[in-house]
Structure 1
Amino acid sequence: MADPPDLAVVSQPADLTNAWLTAVLGAAVHGFSYERIGTGQVSDCYRIAVRYAPGSAGPASVILKVASADPTSRQTGAAMGLYDSEVRFYRELVPHLGSGPAPGCYHAAIDAGSGAFDLVLEDAAPAVAGDEIRGATVEQARRAVTELGRLHTLTAGRPSLIEAGWLERGSLLNAELLTQLYTLFLARYREYLSGPQRSVCDSLVTAFDHYLALMSAEQRGLVHGDYRLDNMLFGARESARSLTVVDWQGVMVGPALTDLAYFLGGALPADLRRAHYDELLLTYHAALGPEPARTPEQIREAVRRQSFMGVIMSIAASVVVERTDRGDELFLTILSRHCDHILDTGALPLLITGG
């Protein structure tokens, strides 16, 4: 993408003008309207319906993404480098991903001084938004693991795409910080945790340094960092993409099957996951193409080892963003599913024995 020169960063939809949209979209904009969409925690998204001057044409609508209006969430996003990473992802990686799951981008910019940023993205409509609390259908899960496999195949075949220094983010957490966050998490949610869930959480927090050492030995690849239903739009038959994945602010290089483990552990209710687990692992394997780098059994074992990310996210994210009723339900729902996944796959002993 080529951004127009000297174009100001838009920090809220009220800052939009016909002239700004004309420069971004390359067509004469005569008017527009907007509506809030999504339930993001650290960013706000709006659908911009665009009207063009006679003789001009462009997309009927685009998505504007900006930093959260909530000061706590906005500070978290800026401090963790989330906004800068997402802008870099759309500027530097997306142009090389072809028909991958990321939406096309018309504009991506950030003001380093204020932390304000904007993304103007392709609108995936018509599409059905994933719902983390309700959980995925089997067909949605098949699409998600298939597109992830194709993305992994593309980036593995072009390793230079993920060699940029900014993708080497490492862990944003250490044992001391996770312990502090877990104390806050328990203050909010202790009464809602079952005995097995508390055992998984306690074990992970206690052995977090060991967990990080285990992850450092894993094969590395491109990681979305939050590959879950709330960040997915499932296209209708006439849509340009079967699946559009958004919220790439956590993108990094890390343990290569983190996203697969995170999705399988958190996206489906436990009974549905158990019934289709083997099928979904094989679906991912098939999407790697005719010469996959891993066998199905290697994929299964890597997913088992990397299954703890959902618990980490549930603990950490729940106490550093604005608290809402939906947020509480979301974090507790996905924590429950991820704990079940860890226990079902026998991953908990890894924190103690490494085996």
Structure 2
Amino acid sequence: MTSLNIPATMDEVTPEWLTAALRSRGVLREARVVEAPRVQIGQGVGILGELARVTLRYDREEPGAPATLIAKIPTADEGGRGVAQMLGFYEKERRIYDELADRIGVRTARAYYADGDAETVRYIILMEDLGGLQMGDQVAGASLQECLALVREVATLHARWWDAPELAELSWIPRGNDPVNLLAAVAFAQAVQPFFEKFGDELSAFERELVLRYMHRMNPMQDRFSQRPETLCHGDLRLDNVFWGSPDGSAPLTLVDWQIAVRARGPYDIGYFMSQSVDPAVRKAHERDVVRAYWEALREAGVQGYTWEECWEDYRTTVMWCLTYPVVACGSIDLANERGVALAKAMLHRALSAIQDLEAYTVLDTLEERPHPLLLEAQGAK
């Protein structure tokens, strides 16, 4: 942490502030930022954050000084901001970039500076500009080749942390069923009514009932994918968070946006990606092959004692759980954000298709209703 003020808006990311921030981390030594024009990017991509590409103009040349960077701050949308703060997303991502990025096990964006204040909900990350790389497009969806490349790289990440003693030291990255993550059931319940109002006409009667049936079984389901073996999961493994390649050519892809990182069973990431970022026709044709490729990559990386049958069932369970994300996104999305609406709708219909194709809803038959205590309190107050 530094003594610098944390910008509340992008307007406060001034040349003077950038100079102080970059000098505090040794990115700059002598040069001073004199101009910092910026362009907003990622509209409809970063649901919980605001992103800008900043061009840095200096008073002198300095080897290694970045010509551009990406600034990331919390979203100005009160609904999304409140959910992210309640679930600890901003603080977690700050610490990952600040403390873990260089040893996480997969290529991620270099962070030049990261700081935050949980009380004021002010956070900022200055990271390398990956604009020269091809960015994934979640609305368009992933190809089979992209799915295979991704799951093999993610298997390397998972194997790095698979039941490792070092993982237990990351207490600030919660398990899937830690109290902060159990609050996802509260966020879901709060989103259901606006979700039905905005998108209910696009659902079948079965799908509407599935949403309601799932709601009070979310916390028991989180217990399922929080059992050992556990690993470090990206948690928001969707195509918009993938850049193909790396600036130095050392890696096949670069992952960004670690706000929802979680300790859980590895297929949590794979089920999320396949149910949110892959069109149903591609997923149905190649689903088992992709998940099998992930499992085989785990074994090649040294993971033992985890069977194919376990992997497949963990995958199915995650697909059911991942109904959470499109419902919350659709319930809080600004309908004026055309790309955001298209993304939320794609996530929704892909998730529902995957759940029904896999009959993942049968997982709910094995779980008792267990509403979150905050929901019970709210119902009792009515």
- For normalisation by structure 2, the TM-score amounts to 0.82
Segments of structure 2 that go 5 or more residues without pairing to the other structure are: 368-382
Q: Which of 80, 95, 108 lines up with 2:102 in the alignment?
A: 95
SS in 1 for 2:162: helix
Report the CA distance between 1:206 and its aligned residue.
4.9
Q: Any conservation in 1 of the 2:90–2:123 contact (CA below 8 Å)? A: yes
Percent identity between the aligned chains? 27
Q: Could you list the per-position Cα deviations for residues 121-152 of structure 1 after superposition, in whole angstroms to 9, with x for gaps in the alignment?
A: 12223112222221112222222212211110
Matched, 1:15 2:12: yes
1:238-317 matches, cutoff 5 A: 239=249, 241-288=251-298, 289-293=300-304, 294-317=306-329
Note if 1:130 corresponds to 2:136.
yes
| Structure 1 position 263, deviation (Å) | 0.4
Tell me the secondary structure at the aligned position of residue 293 of structure 2.
helix
Matched residue, 1:36 = 40
How far 1:34 sits from its partner (Å)? 1.4
Judged with a 3 Å threshold, the aligned counterparts in structure 2 of structure 1 residues 287 and 212 are, in CA distance, closer, same or farther, namely closer
Q: Residue 121 in 1 paired to residue 127 in 2? A: yes
Change (3 A) 1:141 1:216: closer
Q: 1:177: how far off?
A: 5.8
Q: Which deviates more from structure 2 when the two are superposed, residues 340-349 or residues 102-111?
A: 340-349
Question: Structure 1 residues 202, 70: CA separation in 2 closer, same or farther (over 3 Å shift)?
Answer: closer
Quick check: 116-125 or 328-337, which moved more?
328-337
Where does structure 1 lack aligned partners over 5 or more consecutive residues?
none
SS in 2 for 1:35: strand
CA distance in 1, matches of 2:247, 2:112: 24
Give SS of 1:120's match: strand
CA distance in 1, matches of 2:137, 2:70: 19
Letter of the structure 2 residue corresponding to residue 155 of structure 1:
W
The residue matched to 1:349 in structure 2 has which SS? helix
2:376 is matched with which residue?
none
1:149-164 to 2 correspondences below 5 Å: 149-156=155-162, 158-164=164-170
Question: What is the one-letter code of the residue matched to 1:65?
Answer: K
Q: Return the letter of the residue paired with 2:275.
A: G
Q: Distance in 1 between matches of 2:185 and 2:71?
A: 36
Kindly indicate whether residue 75 of structure 2 is the aligned counterpart of residue 64 of structure 1. no
Equivalent pair of 1:124/1:239 in contact (CA under 8 Å): no
Distance, in Å, in 1 between the alignment partners of 2:164 and 2:351 is 32
Which residue, out of 345, 357, 374, partners 1:344?
Answer: 357
Deviation at 1:176, TM superposition (A): 6.3
Q: Deviations over 1:57-103 (max 9, x none)?
A: 222221110112333333333233221111111122213226x1321
Equivalent position of 1:228 in the other structure: 238
2:202 match: 192
Q: For residue 82 of structure 1, what is the aligned residue in structure 2?
A: 89
Sort the Cα spacing of 1:162 and 1:141 in 2 relative to 1 into closer, same or farther, 3 A.
Answer: farther
Distance 2:134 2:54 in 1: 18
Change (3 A) 1:103 1:287: farther
Q: 1:196 to 1:96 in 2, by over 3 A?
A: same
Q: Judge conservation of contact 2:333–2:341 (CA < 8 Å) in 1.
A: no
Q: Which whole-Å CA distance do the structure 2 matches of 1:322 and 1:246 have between them?
A: 23
1:111 to 106, 113, 117: 117
SS at 1:307 equivalent: helix
CA RMSD of aligned residues (A): 2.6
| Residues 270-306 of structure 1: CA deviation (Å, up to 9, x unaligned) | 1111222232123212432342333333322210122
| Residue range with higher mean Cα deviation, 84-93 or 65-74 | 65-74
Q: Deviations over 1:35-55 (max 9, x none)?
A: 111122221011112234444
Residue 251 of structure 1, CA deviation: 1.5
> 138-147 or 322-331: which moved more?
322-331
Per the TM alignment, residue 352 of structure 1 is displaced from its structure 2 partner at its CA by 0.4
Q: Deviations over 1:295-321 (max 9, x none)?
A: 333322210122123211111232245
Q: Which residue of 1 aligns with 2:174?
A: 168
Shift of 1:229: 1.1
SS of aligned partner of 1:126: coil
CA shift, 1:110, in A, is 0.6
Matched to 1:7, the amino acid is: L
Partner Cα separation in structure 1 for residue 164 and residue 69 of structure 2: 30
Cα distance change, pair 267–32 in 1 and its aligned pair in 2 (3 A): same
| Residue-pair matches, total | 350
Q: Shift in Å at residue 237 of structure 1? A: 8.6
1:26 equivalent in structure 2: 28
1:165 match: secondary structure: coil
Report which stretch shifted further, 106-115 or 70-79.
70-79
1:41 touches 1:322 (CA, 8 Å); kept in 2? Answer: no
